Chains A and B, each alone.
Chain A
C-alpha cells in the first residue's frame, strides 16, 4: 500500500503529512496531527461538525481526501483562536449561551466565520441558510443565530 506525502497549509503553517490513500482531511487532522477541534459526528457529510475552511470556503472534511487539499489553505477552529482571548465569534457564542454539549460548536463557528468574511451584514435568513448544514440537537439553533448576529455587530464595531 503506497503512502504519499501531502503538503498543505494548516492555519497558516506549512504542514507535511504521510498518508494512506484516500485518507480524509478529517482523519489527518484528528488522528495524525492531533487537531481535534474538528469533530466527527457522522462521516456522511450530514452533520457539519467536521466543517473546515479550504481557501476560505466551508467544506466537510469527512468527505475530503487530504490529497485534494495539497498546497491549499486549510483553516480549523484552532486557527481562529487567538493566542490570548477569543475571536469575536467565540466571544459571542460564549456570552449568548450558544453552546450546550459543545459538539456542534466548532463546525458552527467555522461556517459563521466564512459567512461573516464574505457578508459582514447578514440578515437572519442569510445566517439561517448558511448554518443549515450544521446540526445541533441541544440548543434549538436560536441562540446560535443570535450569537452570529452579535458577532457581526462586534466585528462591525457596533458593540464592544
Chain B
C-alpha cells in the first residue's frame, strides 16, 4: 500500500506515545538509509512510517568517563566531535559522505550484515543501549542486544533512545576490510579493545562484523588472550580461534570461506599492529 501516514515527532515522548498508539504496524526509521531504499523499490510496503530525525535524539555528551550519544546522531557528527578514536575511525569507514550525514548511530544497530561497522566498534567498547517506551526505560548491554539475524531484544513498543559508551582503558584498533578502500560493504570488520598489565593481556574484547547474523564477540579468542603476552604464537592461536568461532555467510561480495579466512588474516594483522606500536 502506498504510505498513508508519515509521522515526524518532535520529541522522544511524542515518539514513544505514537509507537504505543500505532503498534507494530508503524515502521520506525531513523536516517532512512536502509528503510528508504526498500520502500523505493517496493520491497517494503508500510502504511505508516515514523521518522526520528527531529525527535531530539541528536546529541553527544561526555560525562563521567563515558560518551552518551543520542540514537539519531548522524554518523558524520562523530567525525566532528571529540569522541573515542575508534568510533571516529568506524564512522569514517562507513559508506559515503552523504550516507554518513543521514545514517545514525542508533540506526546502525539495525542494519543487516555485512553493514553495521559502527555497531562492531560499539560492541568492543562495551556499549549499553537505553531502550525507552511510553512509561518506562531499561538499559541493555549491547552484547545482549542482538538475538539473531535482524532480531533484537527491542520490544514492539520500545525505541533505542541513546547509547552509552565508556571510554576505553586500553589499546583499541578498528579495521574494516572490504573490496574497496571506501564506500564498500565489509568482508570482515574488526574492533579490538585490549587492557594490558605487565605486558600481558588483562582484558580483551574482540568484536567481529560481517561474519555472523549480527556483530559478534569472539569469546574463545578473547579467552585465549587473557594472561598472554602479545607475541606471534599467541596471535596465531587467537586468530585461528576467532576464525573458527565466527559464523560467516556467503553473499555477492564474498563467500563464507573467504570471510572466515579473512577473520584470521585481518585479526592477526590488527593484533600485530599493537606489537609494532610496542
Contacts and interface: CB of A to CB of B under 8 A. Distances in A.
Interface of A: 1-2, 20-22, 24, 43-46, 48, 51, 54, 57-60, 62-65, 67-68, 111, 114, 128-130, 132-134
B81 interface: no
Contacts of B99: 45, 60, 133
A59 B37 CA distance: 14
B166 interface: no
Contacts of A44: 37, 40-41
Interface residues of B, number: 28
Interface in B176-196: 182-183
6 closest A-B pairs by CB: A133-B96, A21-B6, A132-B182, A63-B36, A43-B40, A44-B37
A71 to B, nearest CB: 10
Nearest to B4: A1
Contact of A22 (B6, B31, B95): B6
A63 B183 contact: no
Contacts of A114: 97
Contacts of A21: 3-6, 49
B2 A1 contact: yes
19 contacts: A2-B5, A20-B2, A20-B3, A21-B3, A21-B5, A21-B49, A22-B39, A45-B37, A45-B102, A46-B37, A57-B76, A60-B99, A63-B31, A63-B33, A63-B36, A64-B102, A65-B36, A65-B51, A133-B95
Nearest to A54: B101
A62 B37 CA distance: 8
Contacts of B102: 45, 59-60, 63-64
Given A48-B98, A63-B32, 6 more contacts: A21-B4, A44-B41, A45-B33, A45-B37, A54-B101, A111-B97
Contacts of B3: 20-22
Contact of B96 (A2, A48, A64): A48
Contact of B98 (A22, A58, A129): A58
Nearest to A61: B98
B68 to A, nearest CB: 23
A58 B39 CA distance: 22
B254 interface: no
Interface string B1-23: 01111101000000000000000
A77 to B, nearest CB: 15
B109 to A, nearest CB: 18
A78 B2 CA distance: 30
B182 A57 contact: no
Nearest to A115: B97
A2 B5 CA distance: 7
B236 to A, nearest CB: 34
Best-buried of A22, A57, A133 by chain B (most CB within 10 Å): A22
A43 to B, nearest CB: 4
Contacts of A64: 32, 36, 102
A65 B98 CA distance: 15
B37 A67 contact: no
Given A44-B41, A59-B102, A65-B51, A24 B183 contact: no
Contact of A68 (B4, B39, B54, B183): B54
A68 B8 contact: yes
B53 interface: yes
A46 B183 CA distance: 9
A129 B95 CA distance: 11
A63 B37 contact: yes
B37 A130 contact: no
B4 A60 contact: no
A133 B76 CA distance: 14
A136 B54 CA distance: 33
Contact of A58 (B4, B32, B36, B101): B101
A2 B32 CA distance: 21
